[in-house]
Amino acid sequence: MVQTADIQPGMKVLEPSAGMGHIAEMIRGAGVEPDVIEIGGDRKRLLEAKGFNVVGDDFMDTTETYDRIVMNPPFSERRDALHVRHAYDLLNPGGRLVAIMGEGVFYGSDKQATEFREWLDGVN
């Protein structure tokens, strides 16, 4: 994921829904200190103990923009689609978003999956 994101020194990078910080650690390994967001109190404290810049606890409230967003969003109730669409809106011009997603949004016949695919077709 980090390689696909093509993270370069000086870029502003976000890892939302950071959990225990595994993706953030890989971003750090690429030479950039990412901002992270985590809603879970224990995980948020763990991220702070690891020295990450925790910039919030609810990604969907985030309005800051970024050059790169690398994410593994929650999948339940099609939240991955909602999170990816929100992340896309936070990208700076020329930015890049790399996300792990459930396959349901790509094959499901429900309204959220259909709307996500229509949106995705429009941004490609």
Q: Would you mind telling me the total number of residues written for the chain in this entry?
A: 124
Who's near 83: CB < 8 A, 6+ residues apart? Answer: 16, 17, 59, 60, 71, 73, 74, 99
Specify the pLDDT at position 3: 96
Sort residue 25 into left (φ over 0), alpha (ψ -120 to 50) or beta. Answer: alpha
pLDDT at 124 over 70: no
Mean pLDDT of 98-122: 95
Q: How far apart (Å, rounded) are the C-alpha atoms in residues 109 and 119?
A: 15
Q: What is the pTM of this model?
A: 0.95
Residue 43 neighbours by CB distance under 10 Å: 18
